[in-house]
Amino acid sequence: MMSESLNHCGYVAIVGRPNVGKSTLLNQILGQKISITTRKPQTTRHQILGIKTTEDAQVVYVDTPGIHRGSKKAMNRYMNKAAASVINDVDVVVFVVDGLHWEEDDQAILEKLKQVDAPVILALNKLDKLGDRTELLPHIQQLSEKMSFREIIPVSASKGENVESLEATVTALLPASPPFFPEDQVTDKSERFVAAELVREKLMMRLGQEVPYSITVEIEQFKLKKDVLHINALIWVERENQKMIVIGKKGEMLKAVGKQARIEMEAMFEQKVFLQLWVKVKDKWADDERALQNLGYTG
């Protein structure tokens, strides 16, 4: 049992541009999958809390959508706002960048972070992808001149390398406080939300470059009947031709997505799952503020 009087507790934002490994890092820290991950940028669309409770601390990580310049659609504006709104309300910020790469979006995020009061830890991710690690120290020296980071820590989110060191640095910066959540709670998201995200993840992994960004998933039914969890998921696309792509020839694409998602749901929910998928067209839903609110994209 935790000692409530001695416990350290606080909120930690994980920020960075799209596709640098923020969700992979969160899942690695928690030891289980909370945030969906794909190789495609902008996979994460919502703020997702991941809660890690140890004997002496409770760390509430906030996985955020990738911050990117340009906001052509309402969806993009929503994701940028969701990410940027977090950094002023946390105790620590973990700024994740992709190894030795530094891009304009990284610099834009850095300028935002210079305005926050919370200490900022720079996590150089994808350490396992570096062929020559002798380049690391000069790069760290260059980055340290950009801002007064509390620490610069190279990590591999996918392999877990140096992640414990990052966690220890984060925990040491948290204020003394009793825990905010029950010690067995791991996320603030419902199982319905997780089910929708798993379907979207499988779609993103299987589809080409453009279609995944025109897709969202809505759970219409999530009900336990005779020890079987019945889940009906509605996949929204923006155009009729996208609907045909998602369904696939003789329904093969939809069938494969449903099978993959169901297997993962059964493992995650520890329950037999009966999953049904439908596809519908909602024209320009990603650029419709009201449609986004109806689909759960709210602040």
On whether residue 85 sits in a domain, the answer given is yes
Total domain count, the chain: 2
pLDDT at site 74? 54
pLDDT at site 1? 44
Shared domain for 150 and 201, answered yes or no, is: no
Shared domain for 154 and 14, answered yes or no, is: yes
d(CA 233, CA 216): 10
For the chain, list residues with pLDDT below 50. Answer: 1-5, 41, 68
Domain ends where: 114, 145, 172? 172
Shared domain for 160 and 196, answered yes or no, is: no
pLDDT at site 84? 61
Domain residue limits at 135: 8-172
- pTM for the model stands at 0.72
Shared domain for 195 and 281, answered yes or no, is: yes
On whether residue 268 sits in a domain, the answer given is yes
**CATH number assigned to the domain comprising residue 245:** 3.30.300.20
> Average pLDDT over the chain, rounded to whole?
83
Shared domain for 261 and 162, answered yes or no, is: no
Shared domain for 44 and 164, answered yes or no, is: yes
- How many C-beta neighbours within 10 Å does residue 161 have? 14
Domain ends where: 140, 172, 204? 172
On whether residue 3 sits in a domain, the answer given is no
Shared domain for 31 and 162, answered yes or no, is: yes
Query: DSSP characters for 170-223?
Result: HHHTSPB---SS-TT--BSS-HHHHHHHHHHHHHHHHS-SSGGGG-EEEEEEEE
Shared domain for 154 and 289, answered yes or no, is: no
Shared domain for 208 and 278, answered yes or no, is: yes
pLDDT at site 29? 94
Shared domain for 129 and 202, answered yes or no, is: no
On whether residue 186 sits in a domain, the answer given is no
On whether residue 181 sits in a domain, the answer given is no
Shared domain for 114 and 208, answered yes or no, is: no
CA 293 from centroid of its chain's CA atoms: 19
On whether residue 1 sits in a domain, the answer given is no
On whether residue 184 sits in a domain, the answer given is no
Shared domain for 163 and 197, answered yes or no, is: no
**CATH number assigned to the domain comprising residue 44:** 3.40.50.300
d(CA 137, CA 128): 15
Closest residue by Cα to residue 51 from 179, 187, 193: 187
Note whether 68 and 17 are within 8 A (CB).
yes
On whether residue 212 sits in a domain, the answer given is yes
* Helix (H/G/I), strand (E/B), else coil: 85: coil
Domain ends where: 172, 200, 218? 172
